Chain A
Amino acid sequence: MDEYTLKIEHLSSGFFTERGYVPAVDDVSLTIGKGQVVGVVGESGCGKSMIARSVMGLLKYPGRITGGSIALAGRELTGLTDRQLQPIRGRDMAMIFQEPMTSLNPVVPVGRQMREALLLHEDMSRAAAREEVIRMLSHVGISEPEKRYNAYPHELSGGLRQRVMIAMAMICKPKLLIADEPTTALDVTIEAQILRLIRDLSRETGMSVLLISHNLGVIAQMCDKVYVMYAGRIVEQADALTLFDRCAHPYTRGLMDSVIRLDASPRRLPAIGGVVPNLLRLPAGCAFAPRCPHAGEKCRAERPELDQIGPGHWCRCFEGRRS
């Protein structure tokens, strides 16, 4: 038995478009231990959702995994056919999305959808499955679960829908939950409820969580370990405390500075200048060099490697090693 729930090594995946190959994920290695909550943070298009989809085997055409390995509790997932992945999805790993409405069937009551999911993976009677679904619904904090069992998705509020999605993901007690921007569409008071729910469930059941978010606040509140991504690559990784205390990569620094403080009112906000690079025409050197205030000749010419700069702290920057 592997010590990691999820072990990704040198994963590359991307889109084959008419204009060429778009390297959405480039040589990403990532590990999640049992019961750990691991965050991937970055801006849109940085490839963080592509990692999630690669793990779940949900890449859509023209996307494809082009290299590396993904091991779930020691079992290799790359190279499996969709048919072989089917029993693993849902039972061993499950995913929740930003907008729960799009992943629920609008014409089937939510309880029945959950029961179907359960019956797909477990050998039990329909009545027992129904009991289990109702138990799960109340477990994720849904009041009157018997009544909600027969509710259609559109009859539920955004927060309740996300709870239903979590209940559905949890019903087969997966080893890994992938949460892709689970609270981005929710209001702040509901967000707090959902985040706490995910944390509590992880603690109770020892389930590992891969949390994908653009929000550093959510990452700081939830994660044990954090990976920062930029233009398809990991630029920094560290445990949460280290990262938020002494981040080394200029991009991470820029992201941290962009977080608005509630206790001060500056006249201007620090911003990262420029735009995210075109993945089809990445610069020769460091992908962040064109936007980086510290970039030198070497940064523009050579690609930096991900180097260890402290215990469990890795950074992809020529300058970062010194800081």
Chain B
Amino acid sequence: MALFRKKTDVISADLASQIGESEGLGVQLRRMARKNKLAVASAVFLALLILAAVFVPLLSPYDAVNGDASIRLQAPTAAHWLGTDEMGRDVLTRLLYGARISLAVGVVPTLISMVIGVALGVVAGYAGGKTDYIIMRLADVMLAFPSLLLAMVIMYTLGDGVMNIFLALALVGWASVARVARSETISLKETEYVQAARSIGVSPGRIILRHILPNCLPALIVLFTLNIPSAILSESSLSFLGVGVKLPNSSWGLMVNMGRQFLYNAPWISLAPSAAIMLVVLSCNFLGDGLRDALDPHLNNE
């Protein structure tokens, strides 16, 4: 059945292509850098944080595990920028060591759940019918279950340890990713360029790899950046409930919870990791927005 496209779309796109010029990815990113200062600042912040977390043994003169009992619960000073905790350990040093686990917990399980979710979601969306039904009912079951409870059950079964946190959070997270990937795929499947590929006789696998996935990318990048903070927060909750990271290791969630009892006398102990979580969450969101705008080919000519 003939669908008449709105002429207005054509007009604005035409105007856009009139004033458009050839540009590569580098140009696009550079434009983002110029236009979206917030995204760039976020990227710089995250990069510095990662570098600091990696090189913290070289940067900090303090020990993260064994403290100096003589300087317990000290307020921030020139020697201890963020003060010390109840065992006389430098909060900044612990914060940077904690960043290793917290950032890893943010990124690794999110990546795993993205891979599983995108694979299942795209297949469900493209194949439709029974395949779609089975995969999506499975996802519904996952979503219907309280995710924290599910993660706890998995942690109890598998035992403690960072690896198991990765696994638990990945298993909890894939369903929502699958939903987004599926709905993106279904709308992309109806586009004329996918129809065109089908009419040529391109195989479904190739259509998914060449046409569907690259065009899902903006939505997936945004989802990725949004899921990182929620993974970081889930880890904090698990650690608080005693099934996550165990002492003497540290993660931000654990630090917030340990510092809770000193909130009145030494608020810096939990405020510092709280602020760190907030900054990372915000940075991820800003960066995600910036990337989405930069990667959308339709917005490039504005």
| Chains A, B in direct contact (C-beta < 8 Å) | yes
Q: Which residues of A contact B (CB under 8 A)?
A: 17-19, 22, 24, 44-45, 49, 97-99, 102, 181, 184-185, 214, 276-280
A44, A97, A277: residue with the most chain B Cβ atoms closer than 10 Å: A44
B8-29 CB contact bits vs A (8 Å, 1 = yes)? Answer: 1011001100110000000000
Contact present for A184 and B7 (CB under 8 Å): yes
> Which residues in window 1-52 of B have CB below 8 A to A?
4, 6-8, 10-11, 14-15, 18-19, 35
Is B190 at the interface (CB under 8 A from chain A)?
A: no
Residues of chain B within 8 A of A17, CB atoms compared: 19, 302
Q: Is the interface of B mostly helix, strand, loop or mixed?
A: helix
In contact, B302 and A45 (Cβ under 8 angstroms): no
Total count of chain B residues near the partner, CB < 8 A: 12
A181→B15 contact, CB < 8 A: no
Sampled A-B contacts (15; CB under 8 Å):
A17-B19, A18-B35, A19-B19, A24-B15, A45-B14, A45-B15, A45-B18, A49-B8, A97-B8, A98-B6, A98-B8, A99-B8, A102-B6, A181-B8, A276-B14
Contacts of A279 in B (CB 8 A): 15, 18-19
CB-based contact B7/A181 at 8 Å: yes
A54 CB → nearest B CB, Å: 15
Q: Report which of B6, B7, B19, B302 forms a contact with A278, defined as CB distance below 8 A.
A: B19
Residues of A within 8 A of B19 (CB): 17, 19, 22, 278-280
Q: How far is the CA of A70 from the CA of B35 in the complex (A)?
A: 35
Task: Give Cα distance in the complex from A102 to B35, angstroms.
Answer: 30
Contacts of B6 in A (CB 8 A): 98-99, 102, 185
Inter-chain CA distance A97–B71, complex, in Å, is 74
A276 proximity list for chain B (CB < 8 A): 14, 18
B residues engaging A (CB < 8 A)? 4, 6-8, 10-11, 14-15, 18-19, 35, 302
Residue in B closest to A186 when the chains form the complex, CB atoms? B4
Nearest-Cβ distance from residue B156 to partner chain A, whole angstroms: 47
Provide the residues of chain A in CB contact with B302, threshold 8 Å. Answer: 17-18
Neighbouring B residues of A98 by C-beta, 8 Å:
6-8
List the 6 closest pairs (A to B, CB-CB), nearest first.
Answer: A44-B11, A99-B6, A45-B15, A44-B14, A280-B19, A185-B4
| Number of cross-chain contacts by CB at 8 Å | 43
Provide the bound-state CA to CA distance between A17 and B15, in Å: 12
A49: contacting residue among B4, B11, B35, CB under 8 A: B11
Give Cα distance in the complex from A269 to B198, angstroms: 33
Q: How far is the CB of A12 from chain B (nearest CB, A)?
A: 17
Query: Which residues on A sit within 8 Å (CB–CB) of B7?
Result: 44, 98, 181, 184-185, 214
CA of A49 to CA of B10, assembled, Å: 13
Question: Taking chain A's interface residues, is the majority helix, strand, or loop, or is none over half, making it mixed?
Answer: loop
Beyond A45-B15, A45-B18, A181-B8, 13 extra complex contacts between A and B, CB < 8 Å: A18-B302, A44-B10, A49-B11, A98-B7, A98-B8, A99-B6, A181-B7, A184-B7, A185-B6, A278-B18, A279-B18, A280-B18, A280-B19
| Closest Cβ neighbor of B2 among chain A residues | A187
* Closest A residue to B5 using CB positions: A185
Least Cβ distance of A229 to chain B in Å? Answer: 13
Contacts of A44 in B (CB 8 A): 7, 10-11, 14-15
Most A CB atoms within 10 A — which of B4, B8, B10, B14?
B8
- Residues of B within 8 Å of A22, CB to CB, are 15, 19
CA distance A214 to B14 in the complex (A): 14
Q: Which residues of B contact A214 (CB under 8 A)?
A: 7
With A276-B18, A278-B19: A45-B11 Cβ-Cβ less than 8 Å: yes
Contacts of B11 in A (CB 8 A): 44-45, 49
Closest to B4 in A: A185
A140 to chain B, nearest CB (A): 22
Q: Residue on B with the closest CB to A97? A: B8
How long is the Cα–Cα vector from A64 to B17 in the complex, in angstroms?
A: 21
- Which B residues lie within 8 Å of A49 (CB)? 8, 11
Question: In the complex, A49→B4 CA distance in Å?
Answer: 19
Q: Kindly provide the distance from the CB of A162 to the nearest chain B CB, expressed in whole angstroms.
A: 13
Neighbouring B residues of A24 by C-beta, 8 Å:
15
Q: Which residues of B contact A280 (CB under 8 A)?
A: 18-19
Distance to closest chain A CB from B300 (angstroms) = 11
- Measured between alpha carbons, how far is A22 from B16 in the docked complex, in Å? 11
Nearest CB in chain B: distance from A98 CB, A: 6
Question: What is the bound-complex CA distance between A44 and B11, given in angstroms?
Answer: 5
Residues of B within 8 A of A278 (CB): 18-19
Most buried by B among A17, A45, A98, A280: A45
A309 to chain B, nearest CB (A): 30
Kindly provide the distance from the CB of A289 to the nearest chain B CB, expressed in whole angstroms: 17
Contacts of A185 on B, CB cut-off 8 Å?
4, 6-7
CA distance in complex: A277, B15 (Å)? 10
CB distance from A215 to the nearest CB of B (A): 11
- Looking at B4, B15, B35, the one whose CB has the most chain A CB atoms below 10 A away is B15
Chain A residues lying within 8 Å of B8, measured Cβ to Cβ, are 49, 97-99, 181
Chain A residues closer than 8 Å to B10, beta-carbon distance: 44
Alpha-carbon gap, A39 to B302, bound state (A): 30
**Cα of A280 to Cα of B18 in the assembled complex, Å:** 9
Give the shortest distance, in Å, between A91 (CB) and chain B (any CB). Answer: 25
| A205 to B280 CA separation, bound complex (whole angstroms) | 64
Query: A42: shortest Cβ distance to chain B, in Å?
Result: 11
Complex Cα distance A280/B19, Å? 7
A181 to B35, CA, bound (A): 35
Give Cα distance in the complex from A44 to B17, angstroms: 12
Cα–Cα distance between A169 and B15 once the two chains are bound (Å): 28
The distance in angstroms between the C-alpha atoms of A183 and B134, with both chains bound, is: 45
Q: Most chain-A Cβ atoms within 10 A of its Cβ — which of B6, B10, B35?
A: B6
* Minimum C-beta distance from A180 to chain B (A): 8
